[in-house]
Structure 1
Amino acid sequence: MKEQIPVGMNRTGVQMSPFETSTMQAGMPASMTPATPGDDTALADMRSQYITDADAIGSVPVPATVQGAVAAGASMMLGNQPQLLLDKLGERLAFERTGTRLYDALITKFEATQDSTTSMTLADLQKIRQDEARHFSIVASAIEALGGDPTSQTPCADLVGVESMGLVQAVTDPRTTIAQSLHAILIGEMADNVGWEMLIALAEDQQQISLISDFSVALDEERAHLLQVRNWLEEATLGAVVSDGALVDDISDANPPQVH
């Protein structure tokens, strides 16, 4: 079953008011380019001044414990930048927190709408939600193991919080459908996969080998999440089930009866 998109009196396009549109365009050149003089040079100049004068978004806090200070000092003596790893760990911590909340919101919407446009089940969503919460705990433990404070807001954590605000707004908006919500979550899952890949590479670069095993498990789970969400979105949009990378028309075609 495909998602049902309503058709109604959408008045946002100019074709809905042809006479008024003709009047509006009467004084415009044939190219349809507005005749307003000037350009965005002044705006660019103002932005450039703000950029030049701006402070950094924030900072990574200095270790507040003896263990943290020793660990950071030892890492720096090896030529590493422990503050960079802690900043990216803070980023993942913030994103996994948001991911957990996104699935909380999707679960609520799924239960409220009783949507049947996908093969998605409540158990599927609860499983992914549990994975996201566990990933949060993995990152928090890694920060503590490096002597950092998981409650601190690092620059990248601050940034990713702003970036993901739109995703949360899209999924929690009561007007958005399951398919539209899955589209927002797909964006988050794609970013999540890249974030874990980068975090593993950074841990390897800074010889934090003990962290890589848990991070690799999280990455494998996030890859599975990405595939599931993409398949659900394709089901909702195309009215089809994805099987081995190919689209089939319906559930029965995806699982043909056995001939004996």
Structure 2
Amino acid sequence: MKKTTSDLGMNRTGIATSPVDSADIIQAAQKRQPSHLGDDSLILKVRQQYAVESDGIGSVPPPTSLKGSNSKPTVFIDKLGERAAFERSGVRLYQGALAKFEVLGSWEGGPTREGLTRILNDELSHFGLVSEVLTKLGADPTAMTPCADVAAVTSMGLPAVVSDPRMNLRDTLHALLVAELTDNAGWEMLIELSRGLGHDTLAERFQLALDAEAEHLTLVRNWLSAGVTLEARATPVPRAEAGPGLTPTV
């Protein structure tokens, strides 16, 4: 049976697991002088120097048809590229969640195959929307823009959680919750930017995407909350919705 998130076990990461050895280590540390008597000013200078010498993380390919008065078109392209990259990653996250669902099943009030598939399809649709807009603006939807790069690096732990076989479905939902919170904020910013640049028609289309993302956030939060509550009460309620021949677990 798949272990739940909070099963008891021999966790050796804490100092309390070996009070005798930890006391010796603390005493030895107290007898020695620090290796450096300064503060963090030296590392701060190194970071500042690197920041001065860096040329940045990339550039935005010039669009061929985007026009706007008193605006810098590449900023809009950059944020569109960010959303395209994030939505593409969202598809992969939900593909991973579905794979774990098929093996582990769900719980009362937890995710369903239909619900996960619907969100996956929405993410794919949103990726298609942003790619379409980029193409119509004369931009390359396959380009990794600077903001897309930042978003990818910032969220690189999410696919690691989803793909880790040690992580159960609740752990995966935690990663999805982080992704959905970021996704909602990203769409809100893109809508505000669109309206500010006079792209009201695009803003209306993006608002429909945000409405769907808000629903995703509510679903994932509720699924995760139900799972955590059931585990805390130690009353697992299995569902009969796992793959063929597999027994769902909490």
1:142 to 128, 133, 139: 133
Give me the TM-score of the superposition, normalised by structure 1. Answer: 0.83
Residue aligning to 1:8: 9
Residue aligning to 1:119: 110
Residue aligning to 1:37: 36
The amino acid across from 2:215 in the alignment is A
Residue aligned with 2:141, SS:
coil
TM-aligned CA deviation for residue 27 of structure 1: 3.4
Residue aligned with 1:26, SS:
helix
Question: 1: distance between equivalents of 2:220 and 2:202?
Answer: 27
Question: 2: distance between equivalents of 1:145 and 1:193?
Answer: 24
Question: Which of structures 1 and 2 has the bigger CA Rg?
Answer: 1
Residue aligning to 1:26: 27
Residue aligning to 2:59: 59
Residue aligned with 2:228, SS:
helix
2:199 to 205, 208, 217: 208
Residue aligning to 1:154: 145
Q: Which ranges in structure 2 are unaligned for 5 or more consecutive residues?
A: 238-250
TM-aligned CA deviation for residue 48 of structure 1: 1.1
Aligned residues: 230
Residue aligning to 2:242: none
Pairs within 5 Å for 1:1-260: 5-29=6-30, 35-38=34-37, 39-63=39-63, 68=64, 71-72=65-66, 74-75=67-68, 78-116=69-107, 118-239=109-230
Contact 1:98 1:164 in 2 (8 A): no
Cα separation, partners in 2 of 1:87 and 1:79, compared to 1, 3 Å = same
Question: 2: distance between equivalents of 1:158 and 1:6?
Answer: 37
Percent of aligned positions that are identical: 40
Question: 2: distance between equivalents of 1:46 and 1:215?
Answer: 42
TM-aligned CA deviation for residue 86 of structure 1: 0.5
CA deviations on 1:76-117 (whole Å, 9 max, x unpaired) are xx1122111100000000000010100000000110112325
Residue aligning to 2:248: none
Give me the TM-score of the superposition, normalised by structure 2. Answer: 0.86
Question: 1: distance between equivalents of 2:189 and 2:5?
Answer: 38
Residue aligning to 1:256: none
Question: 2: distance between equivalents of 1:49 and 1:169?
Answer: 32
Aligned Cα root-mean-square deviation (Å)? 2.2
Residue aligned with 2:28, SS:
coil
Contact 1:143 1:149 in 2 (8 A): yes
Question: 2: distance between equivalents of 1:158 and 1:27?
Answer: 45
Deviates more, 1:201-210 or 1:129-138: 201-210
Contact 2:110 2:227 in 1 (8 A): no
Question: 2: distance between equivalents of 1:14 and 1:151?
Answer: 48
Contact 1:189 1:226 in 2 (8 A): yes
**Higher relative contact order, structure no. (Cα contacts within 8 Å, ≥ 6 residues apart):** 2
The amino acid across from 1:164 in the alignment is S
The amino acid across from 1:52 in the alignment is V
The amino acid across from 1:177 in the alignment is N
TM-aligned CA deviation for residue 22 of structure 1: 1.4
Residue aligned with 1:119, SS:
coil
